[in-house]
Amino acid sequence: MATRHVKRTFKYRFYPTTEQADELFRTFGCVRKVYNMALDARSRAWTDERRRISYPATSAMLTDWKRTEELAYLAEVSSVPLQQSLRHLQAAFTNVFAKRAKYPRFKSRKKSRAAAEYTRSAFKWSDGQLTLAKMRAPLDISWSRPLPHGTEPSTVTVSRDAAGRWFVSLLVEDPGVRPLPANSSAVGIDVGISSLVTLSTGEKVSNPKFARVDSARLAAAQKDLARKEKGSRNQAKARLKVAKIHARITDRRRDFLHKVSTRLVQENQLVVIEDLPVHNLLGNRTLARSIADASWTELRSMLEYKCGWYGRELVVIDRFFPSSKTCVTCGLRRDELPLSVREWSCEGCGTRHDRDHNAAQNILAAGRAVSACGAGVRPQRSSSGRAVGDEAGMTMAQAVGVPAP
């Protein structure tokens, strides 16, 4: 039986010639035009006739559009990125019908991501050189790391970010990604602002706060942008300067999150995190900027796919689980614990707790119970002494191996 390899994307920066850049700009514009026209056609068909249009129907529309005098320019670029944009639209509608996403929106020239996707028939790969359809010369790619030995890309995505940088993403099957040897280690993770993560082991990983570090530079650049005349070249230069600062913040944050998530997955067989309502938390005007800078959602996403890659187990605890207010030693739960309280003493057993470390230990205990029993865990009793149902048949203290009082 053939081994199934993980499909992985490797992203590199490249430097197009003037001719290549012009071709890619035309392709981006055509991709955006086709997507918007197909979305408009599908929306009108449903609004006016309650009729759904499928991907084959939009593909036939694209053929007809190319034959018109007004849209003849669509035939001047590679047809594959145009077809891929229709497939992306079909996937968007599939997600809408499955209630996994909102209704797709029209692509904007100024705000939407400039990208084009090429499948195997629209590019040439030879001796480590990539040549796209409609181009004479290969792309000048900066190979910051090698592709897995013996692999060839099945899909190529070319994009340009707001900072003016060009990137090419190569989708390949990576034989080097395989399950790691199993171990008995497990970790509970409590995310925060001052410490990005606090582990059940007691370790705290400080939050670099990349946005705050560059906040002065960003504020000055944004103020300079606000003073420029709208539509002028100076405004475009100032906007590019702001975009570069944002890109620097994003790149540094992503690099840090990759290092943290990779270490956690490689060292632990079981990883347990909370299902935090980040979107709701961003409504807190006092903490919204700090929460966004911490990027908890991106960290969780990395943990999810890396656990899948390396054969680890990821357990997500319910967001309403009172991890901070529950004593990990005896299971007593406090009725209130304001966010400003970073340390507290249990009224039942007298144990002094660091708020975040205690939460991480409770998260780990709940995750172990879920992993073993397939159900959620709640503390045994509240501070009022009222018994609370235990769905998995164990208390926090039992789950972490501490005898209950």
Report the C-alpha gap between 61 and 74 in whole angstroms.
12
Beta bridge partners of 70: none
Q: Which one, of 274, 269, 262, lies nearest residue 302 by Cα?
A: 262
Residue 254 class from Cβ within 10 Å (0-12 exposed, 13-18 middle, 19+ buried)?
middle
Report the C-alpha gap between 286 and 289 in whole angstroms.
8
Pairing mode, if any, of strands 270-274 and 313-317?
parallel
Report the C-alpha gap between 30 and 78 in whole angstroms.
10
Q: Which of 274, 293, 304, 390 is catalytic?
A: 274
Residue 29 is encoded by which pair of tokens? 């514009």
Catalytic residue list contains 356:
yes
Residue 89 is encoded by which pair of tokens? 């639209």
Q: Which one, of 195, 180, 207, 182, lies nearest residue 360 by Cα?
A: 195
Q: Which of 23, 117, 293, 356 is catalytic?
A: 356
Q: Which of 190, 229, 313, 343 is catalytic?
A: 190
Catalytic residue list contains 229:
no
Torsion angle defined by CA atoms of residues 89, 60, 125 and 5, in that order, rounded to the nearest 10 degrees: 50
- Nearest 5 degrees, angle CA 119-CA 124-CA 129? 120
Catalytic residue list contains 190:
yes
- Alpha carbon distances (Å) from 380 to 269, 375, 383, 402: 27, 15, 10, 13
Tell me if 228 sits within 8 A of 234, measured CB to CB. Answer: yes
Report the C-alpha gap between 349 and 49 in whole angstroms.
68
Q: Which residue numbers are catalytic?
A: 190, 274, 356
